[in-house]
C-alpha cells in the first residue's frame, strides 16, 4: 500500500504521497513511485493508494471524464465511481483515489463512494489513518502551513506504517 494525504487549509490544497512501492511483503522501490500528480490541465491533483497499474488506469479514466464534463470535478468523480462500480473490468481494480481542485476534495472508491471530508483532511492507504490523525492534531497550531502539516503528518505515518516511507512528493494548488 502507501499513504496519500490531502489537506485543505488557508486557501491552499496540498496533497502528499510517499514513494515506496511494494509487491506483497517485499519493497520494490524505496523512493521512485509517483502516486500524486496533476491532471486536468494542471488544475486538479490526484493521488492513489493500492495497485499502481490500477491507480494509473483510474487516473487516466478520470481525465477522460473531466474532459467530457468540462473539468467539473464532482460530476467527473461521480461518473467514474458509477463506471467503476458497474463495469466488469473496472470492478477488479484494486485502488482508492483522492482528487482535489480549488473548491473540492474527494475520495473515490470502487464500491461507488464519492466522499467529501467535513474538515478538509483526507488520508488513504495503509498509513492514511496515521497521517490523517496527525494532520488533524496539527491543524490547530497557529501559523502552520498546510505543506508543513503534510510533511509532519507524512513523517509520522512513515515512522509507524511499514508500507510508507519518508520520500514524499507534495503537490499544491491555491483554493477558493
User: Is 131 contained in some domain?
Assistant: yes
Rounded Cα distance between 117 and 8, Å, is 10
Residue 42 structural domain:
3-162
User: Is 171 contained in some domain?
Assistant: no
User: Is 172 contained in some domain?
Assistant: no
Domain count, the chain: 1
User: Is 176 contained in some domain?
Assistant: no
The model's pLDDT over 75-88, given as tens digits with 9 standing for 90+, comes to 999 999 888 777 76
The model's pLDDT over 96-110, given as tens digits with 9 standing for 90+, comes to 899 999 999 999 987
User: Is 174 contained in some domain?
Assistant: no
- Residue 81 or 138, more confident: 138
Mean pLDDT of the chain: 88
User: Is 125 contained in some domain?
Assistant: yes
User: Is 54 contained in some domain?
Assistant: yes
| Over residues 47-76, mean pLDDT | 88
Residue 93, strand partner residues: none
Is pLDDT of 30 > 60?
no
Residue 48, strand partner residues: 97
Number of Cβ within 10 Å of residue 138's Cβ equals: 20
104: annotated active-site residue: no
Is pLDDT of 176 > 70?
no
Is pLDDT of 32 > 80?
no
User: Is 170 contained in some domain?
Assistant: no
Rounded Cα distance between 46 and 160, Å, is 24
CATH number of the domain enclosing 89:
3.60.20.10
| Over residues 64-78, mean pLDDT | 94
Active-site entry in 2, 57, 104, 164: 2
Amino acid at each position: 500500500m502507501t499513504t496519500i494525504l490531502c489537506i485543505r487549509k488557508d486557501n491552499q490544497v496540498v496533497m502528499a504521497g510517499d514513494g515506496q512501492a511494494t509487491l506483497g511483503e517485499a519493497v520494490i522501490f524505496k523512493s521512485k513511485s509517483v502516486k500524486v500528480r496533476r491532471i486536468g490541465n494542471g488544475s486538479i491533483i490526484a493521488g492513489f493508494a493500492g495497485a499502481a497499474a490500477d491507480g494509473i488506469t483510474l487516473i487516466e479514466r478520470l481525465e477522460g471524464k473531466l474532459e467530457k464534463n468540462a473539468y467539473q470535478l464532482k460530476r467527473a468523480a461521480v461518473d467514474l465511481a458509477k463506471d467503476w462500480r458497474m463495469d466488469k473490468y473496472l470492478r477488479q481494480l484494486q485502488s482508492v483515489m483522492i482528487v482535489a481542485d480549488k473548491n473540492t476534495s474527494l475520495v473515490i472508491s470502487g464500491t461507488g463512494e464519492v466522499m467529501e471530508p467535513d474538515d478538509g483532511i483526507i488520508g488513504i492507504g495503509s498509513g492514511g489513518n496515521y497521517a490523517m490523525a496527525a494532520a488533524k492534531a496539527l491543524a490547530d497550531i497557529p501559523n502552520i502551513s498546510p505543506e508543513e502539516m503534510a510533511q509532519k503528518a507524512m513523517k509520522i505515518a512513515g515512522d509507524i506504517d511499514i508500507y510508507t516511507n519518508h520520500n514524499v512528493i507534495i503537490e499544491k494548488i491555491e483554493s477558493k
